[in-house]
Amino acid sequence: MTDFWNYFKQKLKENLTPVSFNTWVGSAEPLFIEGNDIHIAVPTELHKDYWERHYAEEVAIYSYKFNGIELNPIIETQEEHAKKEQPENIAPKQTNNNDSEKSGHVFHNSHLNPKYTFDSFITGSGNQMAHAAALAVAEEPGVIYNPLFIYGGVGLGKTHLMQAIGHQMIKIEPGAKVKYVTSETFANDFINSIQTRTQDDFRQEYRNVDLLLIDDIQFFAEKEGTQEEFFHTFNELHDNGKQIVMTSDRLPNEIPKLQERLVSRFKWGLSVDITAPDLETRIAILRNKAEAEHLEIPNDTLSYIAEQVDTNVRELEGALIRVQAYSTLKNADITKSIAADALKLFKLSKEKKGLSIAKIQNKVAKYYHVSINDLKGKKRVKTIVVPRQIAMYLSRELTDRSLPQIGMEFGGKDHTTVMHSCDKIAELVVSDNDIKMAINELKDELRN
């Protein structure tokens, strides 16, 4: 099996870009051969789908070429395999796609940041599915997963991944018309076009592309006219088989006042989330960044920095820059103790990390004289509901936990419940003085 697999990989490598190879083939693992079946484990459902559509036939063809036996691939996700075969889970493989060839991008007027490519994107368990979906879309725009909707918390790489699709598409098809905008730019361009009576130009610009990337679509909330215009842009592009990719901090149906017809269209394709990276991925991201900046940083120092910032990649990168700046200031090499000083000095050290949801629940429970169990429970009396909602609101405000993660910490509540609570308290903070005071006092206590 190993010999065949090496031969098979070699064959595919000849025809794939390094990123595609690493993502689809490098991440797959042959398990065993039984009769004429070869069982192959892949990281996610999306990889499985891709394998079944693209490589099943290749396995049969190359196995026949290899030794005259046509193998039939049985693809399973690592999770399925682990459930069936092993008591322990197999962790999905980390793929650092950084070893890819130099890219020769043709830069269009697409407003893409040259740094945001697949090559510089590190994959790990929190983003593997989104990464695979993004790559599939770049390889076959407008065919599958249209629209692609990437959602997740702040600073987790949504913009990076979305722009990587643009770069990759231009790389594959240099004449491709790619347009990246934030939803705010789209809205502003639209408003300007009304003011200057240049709506035709606006439409021409947005509807005459092969790939439209719209970032942070949650800012469409409540912008009726913009939504209307986007609805038509979307339809036109989709009808013509053009690819649309959007990002948001939440799912389409959770964006307040987003028209139902847009929500339903966004669901035509695929929605994938990005969650916070695990420690190994954070270390890999830092290592990658350090190499790009030609910084010599020992492994234990990288691990140390990665341990300090656990929810937001932008902050993680910020921490590295702070450490670098501090070491330059002190004229010292970057070591663990320099890193510790730098992060302490900039008050980054565990401020958010130390503020766990449990701590927030504790403070709120004491403040309102209710039990933690009540906060996590389902009782609907006002004396418990309000503190519960406040605790959720503070968890959202003061930690980087996602809505589903907060829901989990509150007795497994749905993320929509968390969102509703946060919205409710956000309204009360403005209209109800007691709540406002309570929130301020709790925040002060939690920060000390």
Nearer to ligand ATP, 94 or 335 (CB): 94
In whole angstroms, how far apart are CA 46 and each of 58, 222, 394?
18, 33, 35
Decide: is 156 part of the binding site for ligand ATP (CB under 6 A).
yes
- Report which of 253, 259, 174, 245 is spatially closest to residue 214, judged by C-alpha positions: 245
Annotated binding-site residue? 155? yes
CB 355 within 8 A of CB 446: yes
- Cβ closest to ligand ATP, residue 111 vs residue 203: 111
124 is in an annotated binding site: no
Residue 315 as a binder of ligand ATP (CB under 6 A): the answer is no
Residue 377 labeled ligand binder = no
CB distance 285 to 312 below 8 Å:
no
Least spacing, CB of residue 201 vs ligand ATP, in Å: 28
Tell me which residue has tokens 């139902």: 260
**In sequence order, what are the residues at sequence separation of 6 or more whose Cβ sits closer than 8 angstroms to the Cβ of residue 196?**
none
Q: Are the CB atoms for 261 and 247 separated by under 8 Å?
A: no
What is the C-alpha R_g of the chain?
A: 24
Among 5, 8, 118, 121, binds ligand ATP (CB under 6 A): 121
Pairing mode of beta strands 37-42, 29-34: antiparallel
Report the residue from 155, 252, 387, 407 that binds ligand ATP according to the rule CB under 6 A: 155
Greatest Cα pair distance, the chain, in angstroms, is 79
Q: Which 8-state DSSP code applies to residue 97?
A: G
CB of 153 to ligand ATP, least distance (A): 7
Q: Check residue 159 for interaction with ligand ATP (CB under 6 A).
A: yes
- Binding of ligand ATP by 137 (CB under 6 A): no
* 227 binds ligand ATP, rule: CB under 6 A: no
d(CA 61, CA 180): 40
Query: Cα(180)–Cα(245) distance, rounded to whole angstroms?
Result: 9
Residue 316-355 contact track with ligand ATP, rule CB under 6 A, x = bound: -x--------------------------------------
The tokens for 330 are 């002190």
Q: Say if CB 193 and CB 201 are below 8 A apart.
A: yes
**Local structure of residue 107 (DSSP, 8 states):** P
102 annotated as belonging to a binding site for a ligand: no
Among 39, 81, 160, 287, the residue binding ligand ATP under the rule CB under 6 A is: 160
* 216 is a site residue for ligand ATP (CB under 6 A): yes
401 contributes a contact to ligand ATP by CB under 6 A: no
Strand partners, 48: none
Our finding on whether 245 is near ligand ATP (CB under 6 A) is no
Q: Which one, 63 or 218, has the nearer CB to ligand ATP?
A: 218
Answer yes or no whether residue 154 interacts with ligand ATP by CB under 6 A: yes
Cβ distance to ligand ATP smaller for residue 236 or 254: 254
What is the binding site for ligand ATP (CB under 6 A)?
Answer: 116, 120-122, 127, 154-160, 216, 249, 285, 313-314, 317
